[in-house]
Amino acid sequence: MKDSNSVPLRSNSSYDPKGNGVVYTPAAVTEVVVAQALAKLDVTAIGSVLEPSCGDGSFVRTLLATSSLNIYALDKDEEAITHCKAEFDKAHVYCGDFFEDLPEVWPKQFDIIIGNPPYVSWHRCDPDTRSRLDRIGEQYDFEGRHLRNAWAGFVVKATMKLAQKGVLAFVIPYEFLTVSYGKRLRDWMEGHFTTLDIYIPNEKAFKSIDQDAVTVIATKGEGPCETVLHRVASLETAGVQSSCRLSSGAIKAASLEMKGFLLDSEVLNLIQKIDQNCERVSDFCDNAAGTVTAANDYFILSRADLEFNKLTRWARPIIKKSSFLGDAVSFSVEHFDELESTGKACYLLDFSKLHAEKLPKAVQRYIELGEEEGIDQRYKCRHRKDWFKVPVVQPNEGFFFKRSHIVPRFCVNECGVLATDSAYHIRMKPGVAIHDLCASFYNSLTLLFAEIEGRFYGGGVLEVTPNEFRRLPVPLSEFSASDFSRFEGRFTLADGAQAAIQFSNDRLMAKLQLSTSDLDTIEGARQTLQRHRLRHGGKSQS
């Protein structure tokens, strides 16, 4: 992203704004961030301020309007810099890449570095940017494989360009709090700052795009780092609604602690106490990734496409994503037939038993089509002995989809269909019934910890990794066939599975000897975290 309160005019320049992560920052946000940064320092002692990705200058504009400061600004976009030079005659403006050397006449260190750096993931970066990120990692003792986005590189270099008591003030993606490389970056920052204040909005930070963000205000000084999460109404408002201080070592902070800014201390204490006395998913089952095709659109076809290509005899039923389940918690032959009737792609091509030298004509034609499209050159495909033979993970008793929207999807595999790697195959341990685990899973406590342990992406999609899934608490109860049928009949996404959750909660209360008040507290916490994840709307990406 970049800074602005208006959309700049574009000319015939070869600069690609979208490819360089350009989305401009509202002036209301820059005003709050500037105020937060200046509050950390004596304004009269500020020697220089740097904006390393200025866009058309919203941060520069706000800084100049706030105080008489010595401001330096740069950007790769020539047109944006031309715009800034024309407007800001009191600032030092330069067209260049922050990942390269700054002009010799500029300060070597700055009292404040402020802005909204570009959000460009590693796989979208051009080769030059990737090599510059690697160089930054080597130069500033940050493991390069964790610089997975351009904004992370900006944070690392800006940190090392700050004066001894300098302040870093950046608007960066919410993933700073959730994904592994964000956690690594926080841990690294704690070694360079004494305060790390992170402002997390109740509402989506940038409404015009599918992107959530937080504000980070980090101050250098002496002594150990204090990291505090602050809940705010939006990034445009300065008032703090609640705060949560993290334990030393952000990388070691528990998942529950990272959600503490949303919950009262009494609620946190209750959740921690209950969690300590619970068994885990891993006590009842093992899980493993589903089938990796490397090209779902090629290897997974609809019934109509199978018949058109004369490939029906090599097709196997498969579930591609959680949205294909509908309201099912026990996926039956009838459910699959209904899915097939919608025309969705739900058949995997399994050529594993064919000899490459004696392929049927229909298969040969389809393989040639794949080679024309370059499917055989995809990473997973080209490392197979025969690129068109997908290593099929055989079906198990159930599956759990790693990504979901309203609630996580744990499902009994009643009809023995395959699943892609969007799901984890569930294999029950001896003496444990899959129907008991499935119905027991949908209670307020387990679903609360799915919100706590997981992380969310665009549209509010929740992701739970294999390790996170295994450590979810599950108070296992027995469900007779009639009980499970009643539970299944109550499960509908239209009400957020609320009726089914309430049905399982009766077993939860009895199993853990919880009071009605305790259960209300747990369910309230679950809904609070769920609303925070879903707060900017969007459809499921699962």
Q: What CATH number is given to the structural domain containing 138?
A: 3.40.50.150
Whether 538 has a pLDDT exceeding 90, the answer reads no
% pLDDT > 70, the chain: 92
Structure confidence at residue 540 (pLDDT): 39
Structure confidence at residue 20 (pLDDT): 47
In a domain, residue 69? The reply is yes
Structure confidence at residue 24 (pLDDT): 67
Whether 8 has a pLDDT exceeding 60, the answer reads no
Provide the residue type at 115 as one letter: G
Structure tokens at 322: 């959680």
Structure confidence at residue 4 (pLDDT): 42
Of 101-110, 209-218, 271-280, minimum mean pLDDT range: 209-218
In a domain, residue 381? The reply is no
Residue 24 lies in domain: 2-6+15-253
Whether 1 has a pLDDT exceeding 60, the answer reads no
Q: How far is the C-alpha of 49 from the C-alpha of 71, rounded, in Å?
A: 5
Burial class for 226, CB neighbours closer than 10 Å (0-12, 13-18, 19+): middle
Structure confidence at residue 146 (pLDDT): 83
In a domain, residue 391? The reply is no
Structure confidence at residue 331 (pLDDT): 97
Of 95-99, 251-255, 370-374, minimum mean pLDDT range: 251-255
Structure confidence at residue 26 (pLDDT): 87
Structure confidence at residue 255 (pLDDT): 82
Q: How far is the C-alpha of 184 from the C-alpha of 143, rounded, in Å?
A: 9
Q: How far is the C-alpha of 440 from the C-alpha of 437, rounded, in Å?
A: 5
Nearest to 256 by CA among 240, 268, 265: 268
Nearest to 429 by CA among 281, 323, 536: 281
Output the DSSP codes for 102-143. PPTTS-SSEEEEEE-----BGGGS-HHHHHHHHHHHHHTT--
Q: Are strands 455-456 and 226-232 parallel, antiparallel or unpaired?
A: unpaired
In a domain, residue 482? The reply is no
Collapse the DSSP code of 221 into the 3-class scheme (helix H, G, I; strand E, B; otherwise coil) and give the result: coil
Provide the residue type at 298 as one letter: Y
Q: How far is the C-alpha of 158 from the C-alpha of 188, rounded, in Å?
A: 13
Provide the residue type at 348 as one letter: L
Taking residues 444-470, what's their average pLDDT?
A: 90
With contact defined as beta carbons under 8 Å apart, do 408 and 529 qualify? no
The pLDDT tens digits of the residues spanning 269-301 come to: 999 999 998 999 999 999 999 999 999 999 999
Collapse the DSSP code of 333 into the 3-class scheme (helix H, G, I; strand E, B; otherwise coil) and give the result: helix
In a domain, residue 70? The reply is yes
Structure confidence at residue 175 (pLDDT): 87
Structure confidence at residue 22 (pLDDT): 54
Whether 10 has a pLDDT exceeding 60, the answer reads no
For residue 168, what is the enclosing H or E element?
Answer: strand 162-173
In a domain, residue 51? The reply is yes
Q: How many CB atoms lie within 10 A of CB 217?
A: 22
In a domain, residue 147? The reply is yes
Structure confidence at residue 340 (pLDDT): 97
In a domain, residue 524? The reply is no
Burial class for 127, CB neighbours closer than 10 Å (0-12, 13-18, 19+): exposed
Q: How far is the C-alpha of 471 from the C-alpha of 169, rounded, in Å?
A: 36
**Eight-class DSSP state of 174:** G
With contact defined as beta carbons under 8 Å apart, do 302 and 346 qualify? yes
Provide the pLDDT confidence category of residue 66 given band limits of 50, 70 and 90. confident
Of 55-69, 336-350, 392-406, minimum mean pLDDT range: 55-69
Nearest to 533 by CA among 476, 430, 459, 474: 459
Whether 143 has a pLDDT exceeding 90, the answer reads no
Q: How far is the C-alpha of 373 from the C-alpha of 91, rounded, in Å?
A: 51
Nearest to 420 by CA among 385, 460, 392, 379: 392
Q: How many CB atoms lie within 10 A of CB 166?
A: 26
Q: How many CB atoms lie within 10 A of CB 5?
A: 19
Give the number of domains in the chain.
1
Collapse the DSSP code of 307 into the 3-class scheme (helix H, G, I; strand E, B; otherwise coil) and give the result: helix
